[in-house]
Amino acid sequence: MSDLDQLTQSLARNLKHWRGERGFTLDALAARAGVSRGMIIQIEQARTNPSVGTTVKLADALGVSITTLLDYEQGSQVRLVPADQAVRMWSTSTGSYTTLLVGSERGGPLEMWGWRLMPGDGSASDPHPDGTTELLHVTAGVLTLVVDGRSHTVPAGTSATFEANVPHAYRNDGEETVEMTMAVSVPPVR
């Protein structure tokens, strides 16, 4: 089974599980997430591999981390995630990508991401639920962080944090590759 097949199967199983946990009908989840009912059915039947944006919207609507949507079989207090089990969520033909390194559900979803943005590449995100915070640390290059329409220059060695309940984007407007680590904290579902 390829990584993509495994991801599709895991997402199908976990989306059904968490929709059931939350007591959401297909229509309720569709309305809450802003994702079509048809798309949710296709995901739950493992007939499609949704975009990162769709996966994020579903996770936010369910009040779980993307990690949990991809795999909820967590047992012991310490969970090691080997490099080959980190999930590549987004990539471009030029070599940019995001990797979900690890996540947790305790006290609300918490995720750690590794990012690489090649020169000229960028990735935009819709607003997350109120109370969502992102922290990032740039280790190479110069990141252009756009939060609610305002651009911020974040050079290597610099960290940033912001409330992510507004549109935001990450861009590499420079000549060298941007590498960063990012943590995302989402409030628990009320």
Per-residue pLDDT tens over the stretch 36-91: 999 999 999 988 888 888 998 999 899 888 878 877 454 445 566 767 777 788 88
- Provide the CATH topology of domain 3-70: 434 Repressor (Amino-terminal Domain) (1.10.260)
Query: So what CATH class is 83-185?
Result: mainly beta
Has this prediction a pTM greater than 0.75? no
Domain ranges within the chain, ordered by starting residue: 3-70, 83-185
Contact 130, 111 (CB under 8 A): no
pLDDT score, position 69: 82
Chain centre to alpha carbon of residue 77: 23
DSSP at 89: E
Which range (58-62, 88-92, 102-106, 113-117) has the least confidence? 102-106
Q: CA 71, CA 56: separation in Å to the nearest integer?
A: 14
Cα separation, 108 vs 24, in Å, equals: 19
pLDDT band at 165 (very low <50, low <70, confident <90, very high): very high
Residue whose pair of structure tokens reads 């941007």 in the numeric block: 178
